[in-house]
Amino acid sequence: MKKLLVLLSLLVLGAACATQPSGNSNTTANANKAGDTKSTAAPSEADLIAKEKSAWDAFKRKDLDGFKKLLAPEYVEVIDTGLKDTAAAGASMQDIDITDVTFSDWKMTPIDKDAALLTYKVNVKGKFKGQDVPPGPYYEASAYVNRNGEWLAIYYQETESKKMEQAAPPPPAAKKESSSPATAPAKPPETGPDPIANEKIVWDLFRAKNWDGFASLLVPEFMEVEPEGVYDKSGSVKGLQEMPMNMAEFELTDWKALPFDDDAKLVTYTATMKGPKPEKAYHATIWVKRDGKWLGLYHQGTAAAAAAPAKPDEKKTM
């Protein structure tokens, strides 16, 4: 099953895309027409949904050229095997046979006048090299940007939903008694146009348990997606406060920044929890400039797929 999850991540390379359920040719033609539309005006939610379905439909039909036309040149995706570019996203197209995809919970979030975010859930039916792929559900996110009047996908991320019955409840947080008066948490450093530096500020606040400082760096409509679910601003802050793990135990690596435009930027990185059995996850945050200050708009975490078991050394078994 773990191996299938790795294979599925190649399927749901969603490259900003999600497979369109089987339908008649008119439906497909309309979706492709919507995906080709150029406009300087901000797209509606229906516009972005049509583009997303067009990309999935192109992938389903193994139309690599049609698929790539819907992506910005600097497009990246974050899946459970790591960060991928356009070439990697399309590389396994011939090995995948998609029979059906079910979409739900569509939501468009404006980023700025030249960028928008589309989030949704998906269940998949299909095969990878003849084997059934796990159906999901999966949390999906695609960011679109205006490039010379054409809205193209620049970022995609997929996170497998962890069923609540599989998740063990966290132990209650231990309450520490303090004999000294409570002190106000330190004011967080100023954020700026470097999304990597901004994200490192956030992690410093986590380690200091400065939750008010963290909240001050988020827009009111902030959204976070994790395997356990989708959270608003207050839910994200509360969830972090209740986490039983020590944030100092995480090692952060593989930092990369991707500008959407002058007022919106993406940061991606890997967070590895140290220990005998390190746990790794891939993270991405969209930072936006609002009233002269850079704030977090969206964050998503994707657990890394388990490594495939190593093949036995034939020489040792002889």
Give the residues across from 98 on adjacent strands: 126
Say how far apart CA 234 and CA 70 lie, in whole Å: 35
Q: Once rounded to an integer, what is the mean pLDDT over residues 205-233?
A: 96
Q: Looking at residues 248-275, what average pLDDT do you find?
A: 95
Does this model's pTM top 0.85? My answer is no
Cα–Cα distances (Å) from 312 to 271, 285, 309, in that order, read: 30, 40, 9
| pLDDT greater at residue 238 or residue 127 | 238
Are 2-163 and 195-303 in the same CATH fold?
yes
Domain 195-303 has what CATH class?
alpha beta
User: Per-residue pLDDT tens for 93-135?
Assistant: 777 788 899 999 999 999 999 999 999 999 989 887 788 877 8
Residues contacting 278, CB < 8 A, separation 6+ = 272
Which listed CATH number (3.40.1190.20, 3.40.50.970, 3.30.750.24, 3.10.450.50) goes with 2-163?
3.10.450.50
Locate 250 and state its tokens. 């995480």
Pick from 77, 124, 117: nearest CA to 103:
124
Q: How far apart are alpha carbons 310 and 229 in whole angstroms?
A: 32
pLDDT in tens, 265-307: 999 999 999 877 778 999 999 999 999 999 999 999 999 987 6
Q: Helix (H, G, I), strand (E, B), or coil: what is residue 105?
A: strand
**pLDDT at 182 (0 to 100):** 52
Q: Which amino acid is present at 6? A: V
Angle of CA points 278, 256, 78, to nearest 5°: 65
**pLDDT tens-digit readout, 60-79:** 888 999 999 999 999 999 99
Contact 276, 208 (CB under 8 A): no
Query: Is the pLDDT confidence value at 175 over 80?
Result: no
